[in-house]
Amino acid sequence: MKPSDRIFVALDTTDLDRALALGRGLKGFIGGVKVGKEFFTALGPAGVGALGELGLPVFLDLKFHDIPATVAGAVRAALALKPFIINVHASGGAAMMRAAVEAADGPAPAFNKPLVVAVTVLTSLADEDLAATGVAGDAAAQVLRLAGLAKRSGLDGVVCSAHEAEALRAALGDDFKLVVPGIRPQWAAADDQKRIVTPAEAVAKGADYLVIGRPITAADDPADAARRIAAELDA
């Protein structure tokens, strides 16, 4: 794939006009856009559909997590929006994930099936948070455990941290998709002693798709920011 195809821009906004303006300006410089619960709760299917009409692939980041029948119904409903990627929580279990995959196959052979990926452990959860929920072992071990379950359940990949990507790629193979958020290009990295993973570093670790927000959306020239990131990936 082209370097720019790896870039999905996070549109974490409730302002549809702003989202559409960004989408129009970035079309041709990115692989697609990601919309999550904030966008979807405020703007609903109509908002997602408006983005889709721009011709931009959409990562519908709603993290479905419920009983298998309910998740299957949600996935079938989402197909009308023609998402490129949808996601579920791996902690919903194998039956739930299999139901999501079966629902995503669509009613007709010509249907362009979206990628179904799983969220393993939220980045806000530390080892002690997992222990409080009854999960033994550290977060890294739980990520590997749930990612393996997702693969065995037929999912296309997982959403993961760049710091987890290398181990997941080694354990789960080259065909398993890794969608990596929290990326900051080198020129946007703040000198605040936090570990920064650049787009090129994330891809070197095994990332297939990069979810990038403010370094592009808050830039004076978002299209130029996207071009610079693609150039980093192509270097």
Quickly list DSSP for 86-133.
EEEEGGG-HHHHHHHHHHHT-SSTT--PPEEEEE-S-TT--HHHHHHT
CA angle 22, 26, 27 (to 5 degrees): 120
In this prediction, what percent of the chain has a pLDDT beyond 90? 79
Which tens digit of pLDDT belongs to each residue from 150-207?
999 999 999 999 989 999 999 999 999 999 998 988 777 554 434 568 999 999 999 9
User: Is the model more confident about 17 or about 105?
Assistant: 17
Least confident of 46-50, 96-100, 162-166, 231-235: 231-235
For the entire predicted model, the pTM comes to 0.93
**Could you give the CA distance from residue 98 to residue 95 in angstroms, rounded to a whole number?**
5
Q: Which of 27, 34, 37, 63 is catalytic?
A: 63
Active site residue 177: no
Mean pLDDT score, 56-69: 97
In order of their start, the domains of the chain are 3-234 (3.20.20.70)
